[in-house]
Structure 1
Amino acid sequence: MFQWVQRRVQAAYERLLRREISGAPTHVAVIQDGNRRYASEQGEDAPDGHRAGAQTTEQVLNWCQDMGVEELTLYSFSTENFDRPDHENEALFDLLEEKLYDFGDDDRVHDGEVCIRAIGDREALPERVRDAIDYAEDRTANYDSFTLNVALAYGGRNELLNAARDVASAVEDDELAPADIDVSEIENRLYDSPVRDVDLIIRTGGDERTSNFLPWHANGNEAAVFFCTPYWPEFSKVDFLRGIRTYESREESWRRAKAKRALALVKALGGVELEEARRIIDRFRGTLPEESNVEELGAEELGIEELDVEGDGKAVE
């Protein structure tokens, strides 16, 4: 009886969260933490926890597609994981190999046109895992409706270090001028194919840190971060929707802060003509949340009584 009530309450909360969410981030990255602790609490071995976590991974992929997320990156095996006992890693490599082949053949992957890619130092992985990566990538290489990145033998510092070394070599060989080093030059050296900026990082298992995960694409984009206590095998759709809600709340707060800074800048210009002030504010119209209160933002001090963010974006008296 209690479990039935619990399921009903969770279903109702899920519907409530879904109504509160108006959109979705483009790129979600997940740190799948807690598989081993979950297994330990169940009286099982670490490989059992990883296998239970793999089932959650398949569900999250479906949830992302349902919500309109376009890219999902899973932190499946870090460079630090090589320090774990060999027997545990071998079991995990077996599971990764199995799942990569399964994904390469899965009708849902092909029906949804999911492009599967591995990011990280794949040469550090066993040959059988590299073969499975090649299989999944080759089978889905022509798809572009959804991208699934699997981070294997991945470390953010190593990623940036290798890119920096590559740039230094290009400069030394006169293939690149120092003045031409820009964001695109770094990004082109991170992966063979571009990875979108990360909008939301989700970490399960209770720890509140991002563990060297996608520093260029997450920190550079000021990604929202959602930490939650369930272990990865216990991660539910409610938890996922709460993460999406965190992203939306952060985006709204960020837009409002940016709009306030823009208005403060205009006021600081002192003797600027009103028409010029309007022109500057108009440049920031895309940053204003629809429910922005003009008085709260301080625009009335500029003689502007309304900021139209739903129509043509013009500030009117």
Structure 2
Amino acid sequence: MREWLRAQFRSVYERVLRREISGAPSHVAVIQDGNRRYARERGDDTATGHRVGAETTERVLDWCAELGVDELTLYAFSTENFNRPPDEREHLFDLIEEKLYQFADADRVHEERVRVRAIGDTDRLPERVQQAIDYAEAQTAGYDALTLNVAVAYGGRAELLQAAREIGSAVDRGDLDPADVTAETVEARLYDGAVRDVDLIVRTGGDERTSNFLPWHANGNEAAAFFCTPYWPEFSKIDFLRAIRTYEAREVSWRRTRAKRALALVRALGGEVKEARRVLDRFRDYLPDAVEDEPTEQQPAD
């Protein structure tokens, strides 16, 4: 009876959360933490935790397709993971290889037009994993409804260092003027990875840190962050919807803050700053009603 009541409550709560959400972030990045702790607390081996976690990954992909997320990036294997015991590392390679082939051949991946891509220093991976990556990317290359990035052999600091070295070499050769270095110059030298900036980072397992994950695309975009205590194998749709709600609340707060700054600038400078007025008009809905009497560009200040 207790389990039935718990299931009913979760079902109702899920519907409530769904009604509270008006949209979805374009790009969600997930740090799948807690697989080993999940297994250890149940007396299982590490391999079991990773395998159960892989099932959660499949469900999250379905939730993203359902909610209209454009891009999902999963932190599957970091550069630090190369330091794990050989047997655990080999099991992770086995699992990544297996799941890449499964994703590439899954009916729902083709029905939902999911493009699978790998992000990271993939040359460091075993040849069999590289072959699985090539297969998955080739099988889904023509799709554009949802992009699934699998971050393998990935490290954000290493990615930025690689880009900096390539830019430095180009400057030394005379192929690039330092004055011409822009954000686009850096992005062109990052891993062939994320298509969009990250809007929301989700981390399971209780830790509140982003662990060297997508620093350019996430931190540079001031992505919202959602940290939750369930281990990755326990991560539920309710947890995912709560993460989306966190993103939406942050977006509203950000828009309100930007609108207030623009309003303060317009007031301070007597309406002479066109850019501030443009921002103010764009975000006027996020300001208190009292500012509706503020002059606009079409109604100059006296």
**TM-score under structure 2 normalisation?**
0.95
Structure-2 residue corresponding to 1:103: 103
Closer, same or farther: CA 66–133 of 1 in aligned 2, 3 Å: same
RMSD of Structure 2 on Structure 1 (CA) = 2.0
Tell me, yes or no, if the aligned pair for 2:63 and 2:237 is still in contact at 8 Å: yes
Provide the rounded CA distance (Å) in 2 between the counterparts of 1:64 and 1:29. Answer: 11
Residue 283 (structure 2) aligned to one of 276, 287, 295: 287
Structure-1 residue corresponding to 2:75: 75
Deviations 1:130-187 (A, max 9, x none): 1111110111111111100000011000000000011111111111111110011110
Aligned ranges 1:21-170 → 2 under 5 Å: 21-170=21-170
Unaligned runs of 5+ in 2: none
SS of the residue 1:265 aligns to? helix
SS of the residue 2:150 aligns to? strand
Tell me, yes or no, if the aligned pair for 2:149 and 2:193 is still in contact at 8 Å: no
Structure-1 residue corresponding to 2:15: 15
**Percent identity at matched positions?**
63
Closer, same or farther: CA 5–131 of 1 in aligned 2, 3 Å: same
Provide the rounded CA distance (Å) in 2 between the counterparts of 1:248 and 1:316. Answer: 34
Deviations 1:5-48 (A, max 9, x none): 00100011100000000010000000000000001111101110
Choose between structure 1 and 2 for higher RCO, CA contacts under 8 A separated by at least 6 residues.
Answer: 2
Tell me, yes or no, if the aligned pair for 2:149 and 2:194 is still in contact at 8 Å: no
Instruction: Give the superposition deviation at 1:3.
Output: 0.6
Instruction: Give the superposition deviation at 1:277.
Output: 7.0
Closer, same or farther: CA 5–294 of 1 in aligned 2, 3 Å: same
How many residue pairs were aligned? 301
Structure-2 residue corresponding to 1:304: 294
Closer, same or farther: CA 28–314 of 1 in aligned 2, 3 Å: farther
Tell me, yes or no, if the aligned pair for 2:256 and 2:286 is still in contact at 8 Å: no
**TM-score under structure 1 normalisation?**
0.90
Tell me, yes or no, if the aligned pair for 1:120 and 1:151 is still in contact at 8 Å: yes
Q: Match of 1:166, as an amino acid?
A: E
Provide the rounded CA distance (Å) in 1 between the counterparts of 2:79 and 2:205. Answer: 19
SS of the residue 2:76 aligns to? strand
Unaligned runs of 5+ in 1: 308-312
Tell me, yes or no, if the aligned pair for 2:51 and 2:95 is still in contact at 8 Å: yes
Tell me, yes or no, if the aligned pair for 2:103 and 2:109 is still in contact at 8 Å: yes
4+ residue runs over 2 A deviation:
191-195, 276-288, 313-317
